[in-house]
Amino acid sequence: MSKLLEGKFALILGIANKWSLAYAIAQAFSREDATLVLTYLGEKQKDAIEELSKDLNVAAILPCDVTKDDDLAALTESLKGFNRPLHAVVHSLAFANREDLSRPFMETSRSGFLLAQDVSAYSLVAVARAVAPVMTEGGSLSTLTYVGSTRVITNYNVMGVAKASLEAGVRYLASEMGAKGIRVNAISAGPIKTVSARAVKDFSTVLEAIQTRAPLKRNTDPSEVADTAVFLASDLGRGVTANCLFVDAGMQVLGF
């Protein structure tokens, strides 16, 4: 029986630890027979990712700080060195200062606002530019977002604004890259207990509320997000672009 990503070459950015959504996606991609390239930020993270990748179908682990143009240029050259087309990219990167997620949005510092935009939104544009030369057969570029981009979520603050920018970027990139057969989409995942999510003040109360309010009466499982990423990267998703797919137990439909 063939696997959904058999013969696909994929790049996944953003694995930080075993709780990362990017790691769940890497596991699902590996299960479906994709060959993976992973990136890391700093030597400490490299060791962690090397340990996590032992059970994955990984061809290489490359350094990449998406806030540095030189790193992105080096990533392009490294990908060219494989002498094969890149078929799928998963962008799972976001960051905001912890203090900007716990104080009123109006008190966000200029530097904190720009940092969140740079890492969480602009990096998708920069990554798209870096991978386009090696996506010669078209393919899929996916990113991760959250409903706080369009609705006010208490304490999500500057990250919600960054996610709104990210989603707008998805639409503009999809419009430009479609002629090359490259599809660009976002997956809006429900709240999941990742390390980064715990930086949001009172996050545990959000998880508790969803179990009682969401149509499915439960929280989102990382594997559900991962399987959606597989769909987008596979030929099954060949007609889907410029979309935001919700994987949140139906929470986004509720008005209050």
Give me the pLDDT at residue 197, please.
Answer: 56
CA distance 72 to 19: 25
Helix axes 69-80, 123-131, angle to 10 degrees: 30
Lay out the sheet containing 88-91: strands in order across. 58-63, 35-40, 9-13, 88-91, 139-145, 182-189, 244-247
The one-letter amino acid at 1: M
- Per-residue DSSP letter, 220: P
The residue extents of the domains of the chain are 9-248
Determine the pLDDT at residue 158.
Answer: 97
The residues annotated as belonging to the active site are 146, 156
CATH 3.40.50.720 for domain 9-248, yes or no, is yes
pTM attached to this predicted model: 0.95
Judge contact between 220 and 190, C-beta under 8 A.
yes
Per-residue confidence in pLDDT tens, the chain, 256 aa: 679 999 999 999 999 999 999 999 999 999 999 999 999 998 889 999 999 999 999 999 999 999 999 999 999 999 999 999 999 999 999 999 999 998 999 999 999 999 999 999 999 999 999 999 999 999 999 999 999 999 999 899 999 999 999 999 999 999 999 999 999 999 999 998 765 655 555 667 777 888 999 999 999 999 999 999 999 999 999 999 999 999 999 999 987 6
